[in-house]
């Protein structure tokens, strides 16, 4: 018998006595009968036995793993089997590569666009209140409590309003 007193999954399914030298016993344990059942349904026990006998012992486990995978794929897709799954995944990879190329091209186009220049502020355009606000913000590294005032600041001299400090368009309307 393959393992202990319990026959292997193939011998159970085929309803035969499991011999000590059963070729299926190491690869189809009794606790996983579905594994052999699906391989038997697709390839047949005789064909699987012949395949395993032709392989060296160290390659048999990989061969059984491949047979189980192919049998599962054949059950899902009887015509193409695992080749259908591979083709589907290759198509998906191609589509994702195209999407990546498009995204990279868009990034490159954005990076190549010239950045609009901000108008230079002449010192005479800034009144004393704005200067003190900017100096107060530069001392602390941020504008702190002055930020709401800065965003809605209206100069009494020239009626310039800063609406959004992150806009690259003209800050002075």
pLDDT in tens, 69-101: 999 999 999 999 999 989 999 999 999 999 999
Alpha helices in the chain, H assignment, sequence order: 9-14, 33-43, 45-54, 57-76, 82-112, 128-140, 147-151
Range 4-15 burial, b when 16+ CB lie within 10 A, else e: eeebbbbbbbee
Integer Cα distance of 127 and 160 in angstroms: 11
Instruction: Give residue for tokens 């393992």.
Output: 3
Structure confidence by residue, pLDDT tens digits, 27-42: 999 998 999 999 999 9
Say what the pTM is.
0.54
Integer Cα distance of 150 and 134 in angstroms: 9
In order of 17, 37, 43, 84, 167, the CA distances from 75 in angstroms are 28, 12, 11, 12, 59
């Amino acid at each position: 018998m393959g393992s202990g007193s319990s026959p292997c999954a193939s011998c159970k399914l085929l309803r035969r006595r499991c011999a000590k030298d059963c070729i299926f016993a190491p690869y189809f344990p009794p606790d996983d009968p579905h594994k052999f059942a699906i391989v038997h349904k697709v390839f047949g026990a005789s064909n699987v036995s012949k395949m395993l006998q032709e392989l060296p012992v160290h390659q048999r486990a990989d061969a059984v793993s491949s047979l189980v995978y192919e049998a599962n794929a054949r059950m899902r897709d009887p015509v193409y089997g695992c080749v259908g799954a591979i083709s589907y995944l290759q198509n998906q990879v191609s589509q994702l590569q195209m999407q990546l190329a498009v995204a990279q091209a868009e990034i490159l186009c954005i990076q190549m666009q010239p950045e609009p220049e901000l108008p230079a502020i002449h010192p005479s355009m800034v009144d004393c209140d704005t200067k003190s606000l900017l100096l107060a913000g530069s001392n602390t590294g941020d504008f702190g409590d002055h930020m709401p005032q800065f965003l809605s600041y209206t100069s009494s001299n020239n009626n310039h309003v800063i609406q959004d400090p992150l806009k690259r368009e003209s800050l002075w309307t």
